[in-house]
């Protein structure tokens, strides 16, 4: 799938992994729609990128706003062909502890945003892609999801987060099979410990300790490295139905 000239949607694109991905796709010639709850950051990024970038306010858990973002991306000359979902939250709480059982509403909210939100973007983007003319490979589009190594190596306090990210891993293959007849691919990236705004709030010592735990390279991942893999999945037609760990050989310990 060619990036240049394609319409692209980046959900959760105003900061972190999504911002880096939106920047790279725009740099490579895609018409990028940045969908995010943070209007301030989203509008600022779109203004910085300039022509070929726009912001649409969207909560991934709601159909209407995501439909609007998809429709905006589909206005590109080539139609919406690239959808990348980076939206997510990650509060921590144990299954049961001194304060009692895990808060059920918190668990439900994490699953709603991370898993249901990802599926919402996937289903609506894929439906729009079916209207595209296939390229020379018979391809109409690609949907890239963001899981986490926590889907496989969930730590203490990550029961809700790991469950939500494990669900994303679980839907990847059947979604790819569902959409294969339409010429639409589905790929998931499972990043390890990356230098995102969430980690930027930690003390420098804690950040260095997190980076040192990664076998090689022994540092936090860079958002640009996530973006580079996302772009490669777009351009490599044989990548389909797969979850790719991007973690420097990290296997998370219990805590």
Q: Which residues are catalytically annotated?
A: 161
- What is the crossing angle of helices 223-235 and 16-27, to 10°? 50
Rounded Cα distance, 211 and 244, in Å: 20
CB 87 within 8 A of CB 34: no
Closest Cα to residue 113, out of 155, 143, 85? 85
Rounded Cα distance, 61 and 177, in Å: 24
C-beta neighbour count of 249 within 10 angstroms: 10
Measured between alpha carbons, how far is residue 70 from residues 21, 84, 128, 230 in Å? 17, 11, 7, 19
The token pair at 144 is 């890239």
* Peptide bond between residue 217 and the one before it cis (omega within 30 degrees of 0): yes
CB 60 within 8 A of CB 87: yes
CB 113 within 8 A of CB 87: yes
């Amino acid at each position: 799938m060619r990036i240049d000239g394609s319409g692209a949607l980046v959900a959760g694109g105003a900061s972190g992994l999504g911002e880096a991905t939106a920047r790279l796709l725009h740099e490579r010639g895609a018409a990028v729609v940045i969908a995010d709850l943070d209007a301030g950051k989203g509008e600022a990024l779109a203004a910085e990128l300039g022509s070929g970038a726009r912001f649409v306010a969207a909560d991934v858990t709601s159909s209407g706003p995501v439909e609007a973002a998809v429709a905006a991306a589909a206005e590109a000359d080539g139609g919406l062909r690239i959808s990348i979902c980076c939206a997510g939250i990650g509060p921590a709480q144990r299954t049961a502890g001194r304060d009692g059982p895990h808060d059920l509403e918190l668990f439900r909210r994490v699953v709603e945003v991370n898993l249901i939100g990802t599926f919402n973007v996937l289903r609506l983007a894929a439906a729009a892609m079916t209207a595209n003319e296939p390229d020379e490979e018979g391809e109409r589009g690609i949907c890239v999801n963001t899981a986490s190594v926590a889907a496989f190596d969930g730590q203490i306090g990550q029961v809700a987060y790991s469950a939500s990210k494990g669900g994303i891993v679980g839907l990847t293959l059947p979604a790819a099979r569902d959409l294969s007849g339409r010429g639409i691919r589905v790929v998931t990236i499972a990043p390890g410990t990356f230098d995102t705004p969430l980690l930027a709030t930690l003390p420098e010592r804690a950040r260095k300790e997190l980076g040192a735990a990664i076998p090689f390279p022994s540092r936090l991942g860079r958002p640009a490295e996530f973006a580079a893999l996302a772009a490669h999945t777009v351009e490599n037609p044989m990548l389909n139905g797969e979850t790719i760990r991007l973690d420097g050989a990290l296997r998370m310990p219990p805590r």
